[in-house]
């Protein structure tokens, strides 16, 4: 394998050099790539207990976005860490090399790891595991849009599966602004030509927001509308996650 990595290769697929053409965004009568309504989320498939070696784990599939999260711990913190009265949360998100259409492009995961950490830490009772660390590791198997919200929701499900005490489940949903329209739970193609994006992570039963990120061009009425959409979807996702946990608890009892 002397040749490994040395020859320059390129992907023959046309997406590599043809820029996505923006549609007539002023119109409202275009159809989403997967045929959904603007305010319709992708069907969510959630399962706990995906990884046997972990303390807790979950698998989430929203359309083509597929994510596995494993929880390890609470376990001994790294030796170099200072004494701490409260527990630590350590988050890491990685992409597989085949997650993106062009091989090995899922690179900006340091930022995603930090965002995952920030959206979870407010929901976890860190004082319930002093001096120790809980590791949250995520692997994006396939990236199909909305990767971060799916990782966050999946991580909170995995934390619940691991029996880590939380104030509530954390659910995350994002909305893209495309011209005049708002589309919820966008796929990669829509994310590529969006004008703005808004993501809310919240604790649905407590009605609290742990993180809100907004990028791009927004008008005040649009922000209100997008937030309403996200919060509504978050509470619905919360119900799905809750029923998933109940299901796994009832099967394990039998």
Partner 1 sequence: MVGSVNDLSSEMEVEAFRRLFPLRFHEQHLSKSVRPDARLLSKARDTSLALGAVASADGSALVKIGCTTMLAAIKMEVMTPTTEAPDEGCIAIDFHMPPICSPIVRPGRPAEAAPVISKQLSDTILSSGMIDLKELSLVSGKAAWMAYLDIYCLDADGALFDAALFAAAAAFSHLQIPVVSLNDDGRIVVVSNQSEGQKLKNKPVNEEKRKLKLRSIPFALTCIIHKDYILADPTAEEESIMETLITTVLDSSCQLVSLYKPGGPALAFESVVQDCIALSRQRVKELQTILNEAISDMEVD
Binding site for partner 1 (CB under 8 A): 1, 3-5, 7-14, 50-54, 57, 64, 68-70, 72, 75, 92, 94, 96-101, 103, 135, 137-139, 141-144
CB of 72: closest distance to partner 1 in angstroms? 5
186 or 204, CB closer to partner 1?
Answer: 186
CB of 102: closest distance to partner 1 in angstroms? 9
CB of 236: closest distance to partner 1 in angstroms? 26
CB of 12: closest distance to partner 1 in angstroms? 5
Give me the phi and psi of 247, to 5 degrees please: -60, -45
CB of 172: closest distance to partner 1 in angstroms? 19
Burial of 39 (0-12, 13-18, 19+ CB in 10 A): middle
Return the half-sphere exposure (C-beta side, CA atoms, 13 A cut-off) of residue 225.
Answer: 15
138 or 146, CB closer to partner 1?
Answer: 138
Contacts of 76 (CB under 8 A, 6+ apart): 132, 133
Contacts of 127 (CB under 8 A, 6+ apart): 85, 86, 87
Residue (of 205, 96, 192) closest to 146 by Cα position:
192
Residue (of 74, 68, 56) closest to 92 by Cα position:
68
Show the tokens assigned to 153. 């929701």
220 or 251, CB closer to partner 1?
Answer: 251
What are the angstrom distances between the C-alpha of 40 and each of 144, 182, 193, 203? 16, 11, 19, 21
19 or 26, CB closer to partner 1?
Answer: 19
CB of 141: closest distance to partner 1 in angstroms? 7
CB of 5: closest distance to partner 1 in angstroms? 7
Strand 88-95 relative to strand 132-142: parallel, antiparallel, unpaired? parallel
7 or 221, CB closer to partner 1?
Answer: 7
Longest dimension (CA), the chain: 59
54 or 173, CB closer to partner 1?
Answer: 54
Q: At what angle do helices 147-161 and 220-253 cross, to 10 degrees?
A: 30
- C-alpha span between 139 and 10 (Å, rounded): 25
71 or 237, CB closer to partner 1?
Answer: 71
């Amino acid at each position: 394998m002397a040749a490994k990595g040395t020859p320059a290769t390129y992907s023959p697929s046309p997406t590599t050099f043809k820029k996505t053409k923006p549609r007539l965004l002023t119109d409202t009568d275009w159809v989403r790539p997967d045929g959904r309504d603007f305010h319709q989320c992708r069907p969510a498939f959630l399962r706990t207990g995906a990884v046997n070696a972990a303390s807790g784990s979950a698998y989430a599939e929203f359309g083509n976005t597929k994510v596995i999260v494993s929880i390890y711990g609470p376990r001994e913190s790294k030796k170099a860490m200072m004494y701490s009265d409260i527990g630590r949360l350590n988050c890491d998100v990685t992409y597989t090399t085949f997650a993106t259409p062009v091989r090995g492009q899922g690179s900006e995961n340091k930022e995603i790891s930090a965002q995952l950490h920030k959206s979870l830490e407010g929901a976890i009772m860190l004082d319930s595991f002093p001096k120790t660390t809980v590791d949250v590791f995520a692997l994006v198997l396939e990236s199909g849009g909305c990767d971060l919200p799916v990782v966050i929701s999946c991580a909170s499900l995995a934390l619940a599966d691991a029996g880590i005490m939380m104030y509530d489940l954390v659910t995350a949903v994002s909305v893209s602004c495309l011209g005049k329209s708002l589309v919820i739970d966008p796929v990669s193609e829509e994310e590529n030509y969006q004008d703005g994006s808004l993501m809310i992570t919240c604790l649905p039963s407590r009605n609290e927001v742990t993180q809100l990120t907004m990028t791009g061009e927004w008008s005040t009425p649009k922000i209100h509308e997008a937030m309403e959409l996200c919060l509504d979807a978050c509470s619905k996702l919360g119900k799905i996650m809750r029923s998933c946990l109940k299901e796994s608890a009832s099967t394990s009892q039998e």
